[in-house]
Structure 1
């Protein structure tokens, strides 16, 4: 029977890819999205009540 195993140790498993929820949990992105949301809310309220 032929030995097909290699002498080297197997490579460690790579890190699991991080998904969209990990990216959304980052503080700078959350601050940016909050600022954009507040600006949109202020514009909507201005349109509703001032115009």
Structure 2
């Protein structure tokens, strides 16, 4: 038994559109990521609690 597969039809419309050049992502892009902001908020709150403890409890 022979299983003949039909050839795939080419449905492309000429050349693929050119992809835009990737822009370099800087520090503001990194700071806009939620996990990083949560981490920085936790670290900042710990530093604030330590500073308040030093000011008022010692």
TM-score of the pair, normalised by structure 2: 0.65
Q: If you compute each CA radius of gyration, which structure gives the higher value, 1 or 2? A: 2
CA offset digits 1:1-26 (Å, max 9, x no partner): 99999999996542101111000000
**Structure with the higher helix share, 1 or 2:** 1
Change (3 A) 1:4 1:35: closer
CA offset digits 1:2-51 (Å, max 9, x no partner): 99999999965421011110000000000000000000000000000000
Paired residue secondary structure (1:36)? helix
Q: Which structure 1 segments of 5+ residues have no match?
A: none
Q: What value does the CA root-mean-square deviation take over the aligned residues?
A: 6.9
CA distance in 1, matches of 2:53, 2:39: 21
- Which is bigger in relative contact order (C-alpha 8 A, separation at least 6)? 1
Q: Which structure 2 segments of 5+ residues have no match?
A: 1-7
TM-score of the pair, normalised by structure 1: 0.74
